[in-house]
């Protein structure tokens, strides 16, 4: 697999993920929606050891017990999500990739929390909780 590279809006935070993508999904939970001010958030997951940050350091917000979100302290772009429930894994926002076309999303998570006004019609798995 080729390295995946990405950056925040201002370009001060850059990353490279060298290992395989563990999963890629759209999240509909209220926490992700509020963190990104969008109706759905798309992530891809890699081993934390396979990701390397460059440039400015991420700032972090403890969004709930056992969960933290990384963002650029200059432009505010959401960049990462980490959960103590999945140690050693790092979620990065799919749309921060330089070329997101190489990552295939396979599921919707927290489907029961989706906003009612967004019509989503696809064949991806719809997971609850």
State yes or no: pLDDT of 53 exceeds 60: yes
Across all residues in the chain, what is the average pLDDT? Answer: 95
Look at strands 51-55 and 58-64 and give their pairing: unpaired
Which domains occur in the chain, in start order?
A: 4-126 (2.170.150.70)
* pLDDT at residue 129, as a whole number: 81
pLDDT grade, residue 82 (50/70/90)?
very high
Can you tell me the distance from the alpha carbon of 23 to that of 53, in angstroms, rounded to the nearest whole number? 20
Can you tell me the distance from the alpha carbon of 116 to that of 7, in angstroms, rounded to the nearest whole number? 31
Give me 64's structure tokens. Answer: 């709930």
Percent of the chain with pLDDT over 70: 98
State yes or no: pLDDT of 79 exceeds 70: yes
Residue 16 pairs with which residues in a beta bridge? 5, 52
* pLDDT at residue 19, as a whole number: 87
* 89-115 confidence digits (pLDDT tens): 999 999 999 999 999 999 999 999 999
């Amino acid at each position: 697999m080729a390295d995946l590279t990405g950056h925040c809006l201002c370009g001060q935070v850059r990353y490279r993920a060298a290992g395989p993508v563990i999963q890629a999904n759209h999240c509909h939970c209220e926490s992700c929606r509020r963190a990104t001010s969008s109706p759905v958030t798309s992530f891809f997951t890699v081993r934390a050891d396979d990701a390397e940050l460059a440039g400015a350091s991420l700032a972090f917000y403890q969004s709930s017990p056992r969960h933290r979100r990384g963002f650029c302290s200059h432009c505010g772009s959401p960049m990462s999500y980490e959960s103590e429930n999945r140690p050693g894994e790092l979620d990065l926002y799919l749309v921060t990739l330089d070329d997101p076309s190489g990552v295939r999303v396979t599921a919707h998570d927290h489907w029961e929390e989706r906003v009612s006004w967004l019509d989503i019609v696809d064949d991806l798995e719809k997971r609850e909780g």
